[in-house]
Amino acid sequence: MDDIFISWRTWPQARADLEACGDLDAATMEEVEKAAVAAERWHGDQRRPTGVPYVEHLLEALEVLVRGAGETDPEILSAVLLHDVVEDTDATVRDVEERFGPRVAELVDWVTKPPAGNAGRQAKRAAKAAYLRRLRDAPRDAIIVKLADRASNVQRLDQVAPDFQRRYFAETVTYILPLAKDHPWFASWYAAWRERFAHLR
């Protein structure tokens, strides 16, 4: 698997690269920048489990869509930058809708896991499985956002704890790969990813 999307660590770096390469037109860039700035503000100093700033995950998912899947729809690109704000910050779906419109808010809502509260580990896993199964009924654009999100999460699966690797590999194969089958670029990328991590079967 040669396609690893880790080129952009900050939004200014991503913007400069996008402008230099002309991947997006000016109007789309304006919308994407608005979403990037909002995501950075909402996520603040949050970090991923690996310790990197949260924004790096969002920019990886954006790069997956732009450089990998060739996506240019400004609302899909905005949604991928905002996909975790409702789940992981104090932002609400209404906040997203007020700033970015109903379509972006709907996409973010589809990919937001319901809060698990104080449920035990097994209950949390069951709730997550239910959420992932629900994605089979999601609209195409929400599925694309989820596929890009998970691609960022799994492209370097070998850098997390071994017990988590196996569980996350199985979860991705069970729930995410079927979502990719109708999207040729993602189907190819995930097939290569599955082979790269075949030892986790």
Rounded CA-CA distance 164/162 in Å is: 5
Catalytic residue selected from 19, 87, 158, 182 = 87
Burial class (CB in 10 A: 0-12, 13-18, 19+), 35: buried
DSSP-derived secondary structure for 135-155 = GGGS-HHHHHHHHHHHHHHHT
Asked about 88 being catalytic, the answer comes back as yes
Catalytic residue selected from 73, 88, 97, 171 = 88
User: What tokens does 68 get?
Assistant: 């990998």
Amino acid occupying residue 2:
D
DSSP-derived secondary structure for 20-41 = HHT-S-HHHHHHHHHHHHHHHH
Phi-psi bin for 8: left (phi > 0), alpha (psi -120 to 50), beta?
A: beta
Asked about 45 being catalytic, the answer comes back as no
Rounded CA-CA distance 41/125 in Å is: 30
Question: Catalytic residues, which ones?
Answer: 87-88
